[in-house]
Amino acid sequence: MHFMGKLRHRMSRAVLALAIALATSASSLSVADMATVAPPTPPVQRCMNLSSALEAAYEGEWGYAVRREDIDRLAEAGFDTVRLPVRWSAFAGSWGRYKLDRKMLARTDEIIDYALARDLKVILNVHHYYDLNNRPSRHERRLEAIWKQLAAHYESYPDTLIFEVLNEPNTMMTPQRTDSLNKRIVRKIRKTQPERWIILATAEWGTLEGLLQSEPPSDTRIILSWHYYEPFGFTHQGAEFFRPTPPVGTNWGDAADVDRIAMDFRQAAAFRDKHNLPLLLGEFGVFDAAPVEQRAKWIGSVRHLAEANRFGWCHWGLSSNFRSYDADKEAWIEPIRAALLDD
């Protein structure tokens, strides 16, 4: 999800949006072509992030640990996929072969195995690799070694286990550098797993700007991913982990607000069609400080526009911040559940 350092991207958004729109319209398919070529459908349709668990320094640090009953609840509610963010950089050696921690592998196995047994797909994601973003020349080889080990460890798993190379590259991980690293890791995975679905996140914190600047590899089992938290002042109001904290009280929900999302999604869909690859909205959500009715309206609007554009989607998150489930009451936050799942 969006953390420190994103504010500087908001300043240039209007200029970037105009340039990107012109570039996209010039290079995308014609109207006639798009009418005859159906966009590719991602294998992930309705997904929930098991957030704030394994991407913390240790499970439970941020107030949530993955429970079997949570996975049961998601399967029964109608989700088809869970995304499992893991801070693998905290559980890998710092030199040599960068060996992965066996206890973390065993814990990840436990969650993946149980979710697959409940007929859920699982996205295994490398999350919060801060050092890579700040010093890529020192850490790109380490991430490649992490994925070499993960690919070997899960080689026998069905293709309902999906790999996601990296979450929200940013700072020194430019679009060009991110593309290059993505392609190298895909090549390593393909040596033993030619049919595994692989999700590629894009630079600029996984935003639309980053997506439209990316150059994905030629591979028919690639899913492009982007994240959406616009307008940031609304979705992150009161989120104290972000500095300066957007003030509580920002409203959202008139026709112009919805039109802005629709315009952004049209640009993403055009990029998807240009590359003929499935597109996943890998994160979207509103921090808990916003009124629940406005949270639900924004979430519902994003979800319906994603489905109208044939994007798969993955809500952030379950029962930590940005939550859709109240673990204290052991109950769904009903307006959020309905926004995600009801027709």
CATH number of the CATH domain containing 155? 3.20.20.80
**pLDDT > 60? residue 36:** no
Catalytic residue among 168, 204, 209, 230: 168
Residue 1 lies in a domain: no
Using CA atoms, how far apart are residues 135 and 171, in angstroms rounded to an integer?
9
Q: Residue 1: its pLDDT value, please?
A: 60
Give phi and psi for 281, each to the nearest 5.
-85, 95
Residue 208 lies in a domain: yes
pLDDT tens-digit series, residues 238-282: 999 999 999 999 999 999 999 999 999 999 999 999 999 999 999
The pair of three-digit structure tokens given for residue 201, joined into one six-digit string? 């996140």
- The average confidence (pLDDT) of the chain is 91
Q: Which residue has the tokens 């499970």?
A: 59
Range of the domain at 329: 7-341
3-state secondary structure of 21: helix
Count of domains observed in the chain: 1
Catalytic residue among 59, 164, 230, 283: 283
Residue 2 lies in a domain: no
Residue 216 lies in a domain: yes
pLDDT tens-digit series, residues 60-85: 999 999 999 999 999 999 999 999 99
Contact 316, 284 (CB under 8 A): yes
Name which of 329, 295, 285, 330 is nearest 52 in CA terms: 285
Q: Is 283 a catalytic residue?
A: yes
Q: Residue 37: its pLDDT value, please?
A: 64
Q: Residue 335: its pLDDT value, please?
A: 98
Residue 182 lies in a domain: yes
Q: Provide the pLDDT confidence category of residue 39 given band limits of 50, 70 and 90.
A: confident
pLDDT tens-digit series, residues 167-205: 999 999 999 999 999 999 999 999 999 999 999 999 999
